[in-house]
Structure 1
Amino acid sequence: MLLSSVVLGVMATAGTARADSCYTWSRTLAQGASGADVKTLQIRVAGYPGYGAVLDIDGSYGPATAAAVKRFQSAYGLTADGIAGPATFSKIYALQDDDCTPAHFSYAELNRCNSTWEGGAVSAATAKANALRTMWKLEALRHALGDRSITVTSGFRSRACNDAVGGATSSRHLYGDAADLGAGPHSLCTLARQARNHGFSGILGPGYPGHGDHTHVDHRSSRFWSASSCGI
């Protein structure tokens, strides 16, 4: 009984590694925890759900969140125990900028259309929040591909912007949760194939009509992957 109390006490103690200008966790997190701090963590590790999976951003630290944390930890050479403590938080702090975006992506990259984030299919706040989740998944994708740059050619679009480029009327770009990726250090097929491991339910690439020059990723409600030239 004493041991159990000690363990529970450890899980509730402060897990803060240092103050961070974006967000600072004040406790160690593990399975069974819940709250806004868990949800904030889930956004940061949502790019590590495993092949074909999508991590729910629900504020509940269940087995899927623990598994994603383990993959994040392993990717960065940390002890992969699925418990988010000081070492895990320190790595996240090192990866995020003051506005909570990951180090290698920005709101400007995900929105070249309307800086107010208005005019899409959802509120400006929702579109911007969706873009943040996309960026953290892209950060995971970038790291998996050797930390070489990924070029984002399109992100959020207002309806006016979407119409101007001939986007579909139901385009995920209107929700802020989509990104088009151009070729660069990585081929479009490399991007499409690797994206399957990083929480994107929508992946369209070479072989899908209109996607010969980019790979599209998004967070649609059910999986749709199509890039036949890439074997997807």
Structure 2
Amino acid sequence: MGVCVVNRGTTVLRRLGRALTALTLAAVASLVGVTATSSAAQADGCYTWGRNLAEGASGEDVRQLQIRVSGYPGYGARIAIDGAFGPATRSAVIRFQQAYGLSADGVAGPQTYNQLYALQDDDCTPVNFSYAEWNRCNGDWSGGAVSASSAKFNALVSMWKLQAMRRALGSVPLYISSGFRSYACNSAVGGASGSRHLYGDGVDLTGSPSFCRLAQQARNHGFSNILGPGYPGHNDHTHLGNSPSQSWSAPSCGI
């Protein structure tokens, strides 16, 4: 499989206009002390939040928020995508806000939402990643270890984790060599029988930054499955995934 550069830039006019609108609305909210989200930009066709969210809230809007801040759980941690806004979600929101220079209070309101709108495309993928580049094996997402819908959702969560990791690395391009695989595709490339690629959340990264830098940084962004240099068969890439239990191994990188 070929290598895909994850670098769908923000130079597209639609996205630039969206970002400018978001910044303008965020500035207005700051000046007038807005606490409701009625003035939030309905930036695209993906999802629009209708209320502020803080610890103790629950619902589908919380779950949608959790998907997008899943890459900010802190070192070695993960947040549950369960629609319940608990302490771990609050901490993730704070880290997201800090990453983008927002007021870091752990409450998701207009400024946080406007930043999220600027980061997502109409299909809910983050701006620097796409379903097409994640799945070059089987376009309908079938044939893996889970249903097609589950595989696609798992991929979406991993994309948002990578978006957070990309930001932390200085917004550098990342290079994907393999994402979702059906059993047939996995067998064809000699993948492990229980590979996370079969679940949709597994991704192999090549190119720069270095494999070790990628593996080390991934520990901060919710990836429980990290395999890199020094682990058998992984000296030419770094693998990231979301296994049920933590499995980190990149001996050449001190992991």
Q: Specify if TM > 0.5.
A: yes
Alignment of 1:76-91 (within 5 A): 76-91=100-115
Residue by residue over 1:145-197, the C-alpha shift from the partner in whole angstroms, topping out at 9 and shown as x without a partner, is 0001011111100000000001111111100011001122x000000000000
Q: Helix, strand or coil: the match of 1:151? A: strand
Match of 1:198 in 2: 221
Match of 1:213 in 2: 236
Change (3 A) 1:16 1:45: farther
Match of 1:65 in 2: 89
Contact preservation (8 Å) 1:49, 1:64: yes
Report deviation, 1:109.
1.4
Change (3 A) 1:146 1:134: same
Match of 1:54 in 2: 78
Moved over 6 A (4+): none
Task: Determine which structure has greater relative contact order: mean sequence separation of CA pairs < 8 Å that are 6+ residues apart, divided by chain length.
Answer: 2
Contact preservation (8 Å) 1:202, 1:220: yes
| Sequence identity (%) | 65
Match of 1:19 in 2: 42
Amino acid at match of 1:201: S
Match of 2:19 in 1: none
- Tell me, which stretches of 5 or more residues in structure 1 are unaligned? 1-9
Residue by residue over 1:29-77, the C-alpha shift from the partner in whole angstroms, topping out at 9 and shown as x without a partner, is 0001000000000000000000000111010000000000000000000
Residue by residue over 1:130-157, the C-alpha shift from the partner in whole angstroms, topping out at 9 and shown as x without a partner, is 0000000000000000001011111100
Match of 1:3 in 2: none
Does residue 189 (structure 1) correspond to residue 224 (structure 2)? The answer is: no
Change (3 A) 1:50 1:15: farther
Amino acid at match of 1:113: C
Does residue 112 (structure 1) correspond to residue 136 (structure 2)? The answer is: yes
Q: Helix, strand or coil: the match of 1:192? A: helix
Which stretch shifts more, 10-19 or 80-89?
10-19
